[in-house]
Structure 1
Amino acid sequence: MADNDTALTQLEGKNPIAEALAAGRSINRVYLLESAKGRASDLSKLADECQKQGAVISYVNRARLDSMAETQAHQGIIAEVAPYDYQDLDRILEHCESQNIAPFLLLLDHIQDAHNLGSILRIADGAGVHAVVIPKRRAVPLNAAVAKASAGAVEHVPICRVNNLTDTILALKKQGFWIFGTDAAATLHYKEADYGGPIAIVIGSEGEGIAQKIKGHCDFLVSIPLHGKVNSLNAAVASGIIVFEAASGRGQS
């Protein structure tokens, strides 16, 4: 069953709200900058579209919007929305099997930065990842900052929450998945790996990387060579490099 226990009930800015509207998400109320009232603008057009779908429009001053905002870029519009509907991983895998598609998953090991998570969702959407899997604990919740950083991709990429990432990896391996992880000390260059078939790529947290226990269950560890003085990449950059390389190798470029 889908997991609906989530904090994402507020969206901020034009793109996240427009993508939620396009995805059929229920928008309950829109708070719009009062100076936009009666003016022909992108904000007014977006508010009108929300109103057509049943949203109540409230005109407020900038101070009110600033006090409500969870991000620093509400762009004069905030929407109250129905909670995000997490997807069921088993159903996604069943759908892939019914379509004779080798699943391509992205597993996030305790990503706790909202901007990294949002960027990773945007990457997953662009690369054709079938689902992003996150643990219920020690992970940033889906919130307005994640939605903003994802540029609306949160509305289009299936996101699954699991109780235990290790158990999920072991279950995937039993189903024939190859599990890839990243490790700066790995001898396998990320461009030399074979990403064909059912795969799951594990991306580690910003400060600690992939947990040792999870790393031990990976079939392949790949490295991204760095040539500068900074010896690490943030989670979103690392995922972008590897996920698009995998997509290219799978014929998804």
Structure 2
Amino acid sequence: MKNDSLVFGIRAIIEAITSGKTIDKLFIQKGLHGDLAKELMSLVRKQNITINYVPVEKLNRLTRSNHQGAVAYTSPIDFYDLENLVMNVIESGETPLFLILDQLSDVRNFGAIIRTAECTGVHGIIIQKKGGAPVNADTVKTSAGAVFKIPICKVDHIKDAMFYLQGSGVQIVAATEKASTTIYDTDLTTPTAIIMGSEGKGISQSVLKLVDQQAKLPMYGDIASLNVSVACGVFLYEIIRQRL
């Protein structure tokens, strides 16, 4: 059965995939077996869809209906291939500007960031397949429809995306309060990808070690940090200021 972006039940999910729906999140009960489950797993592998194996309690929280051990969320958009997107931007002659979101979890923050990114000329947003906020109805609403206007890439690993961007001549700048340099002392006129971290943990340490530069916003109040969508907007508009 289906309810907006939520699809539950093995057969319903199989139908969604074969009809061409983009699966944003797929949750499978640990230890699920049976012929129909095998058919779903085979189809998922062919489509290279990431599976999140979870206990049945997780599925019960997602829907009160008979989920048969499988719940999925479909995406209202199709995701872009990172390599093709980067190549097209470089060939266009424009100075590349990308946004990497490291495990951002709140869909409203995600939507607000997408809206600002579209307004500031970001060429693409890169998110990881596992662990991040989904592209759902709330994302669409909060982005004011901008989610349909800006390319979004889903990658297996953020680090691999970073390596590819760096190999393509794009500097990686981490937005972090741990930096010793402010954004206003950082050259953002060259091809750049900004990394924003999650609401609770910020940018993961393993990712932070791979960036080319770190930059922070100066803070004068008692509160240690800004909301991630607000901080992202400040970073993006500083890039515009520098590039004007």
Match of residue 207 from structure 1: 200
Structure 1: distance between partners of 2:75 and 2:242 = 37
Match of residue 163 from structure 2: 170
Q: Match for 1:230: what amino acid? A: I
Q: Match for 1:233: what amino acid? A: L
Structure 1: distance between partners of 2:178 and 2:152 = 30
Secondary structure of 1:95's counterpart equals helix
Structure 2: distance between partners of 1:92 and 1:183 = 26
Secondary structure of 1:86's counterpart equals coil
Q: Match for 2:215: what amino acid? A: V
C-alpha offsets along residues 97-135 of structure 1, whole Å, 9 cap, x if unaligned? 221122100000000001100000001001000000000
Match of residue 111 from structure 2: 118
Over 3 Å off, 4+ runs:
none
Q: Match for 1:229: what amino acid? A: D
Structure 2: distance between partners of 1:189 and 1:161 = 29
Structure 1: distance between partners of 2:191 and 2:152 = 18
Gaps of 5+ in 1: 8-80
> Normalized against structure 1, the TM-score is what?
0.66
Within-5 A mapping of 1:1-253: 4-6=22-24, 83-251=76-244
Q: Contact conserved, 2:105 with 2:198, CA < 8 A, in 1?
A: yes
Q: Contact conserved, 2:171 with 2:212, CA < 8 A, in 1?
A: yes
Secondary structure of 1:191's counterpart equals helix
Shift of the 245–84 alpha-carbon distance from structure 1 to 2, 3 Å rule, reads same
Shift of the 105–228 alpha-carbon distance from structure 1 to 2, 3 Å rule, reads same
Greater length-normalized contact order (CA 8 Å, ≥ 6 residues apart): 1
1:160 deviates by: 0.5
1:247 deviates by: 2.1
Structure 1: distance between partners of 2:156 and 2:139 = 21
> Normalized against structure 2, the TM-score is what?
0.69
Structure 1: distance between partners of 2:131 and 2:85 = 24
Q: CA RMSD in A?
A: 1.7
How many residues get paired? 176
Q: Contact conserved, 2:97 with 2:122, CA < 8 A, in 1?
A: yes
Q: Contact conserved, 2:100 with 2:126, CA < 8 A, in 1?
A: yes
Gaps of 5+ in 2: 1-20, 26-73
Secondary structure of 1:5's counterpart equals strand
1:82 deviates by: 8.0
Q: Match for 2:188: what amino acid? A: Y
Structure 1: distance between partners of 2:94 and 2:173 = 19
Q: Contact conserved, 1:6 with 1:84, CA < 8 A, in 2?
A: no
Secondary structure of 2:99's counterpart equals strand
Structure 1: distance between partners of 2:233 and 2:144 = 15
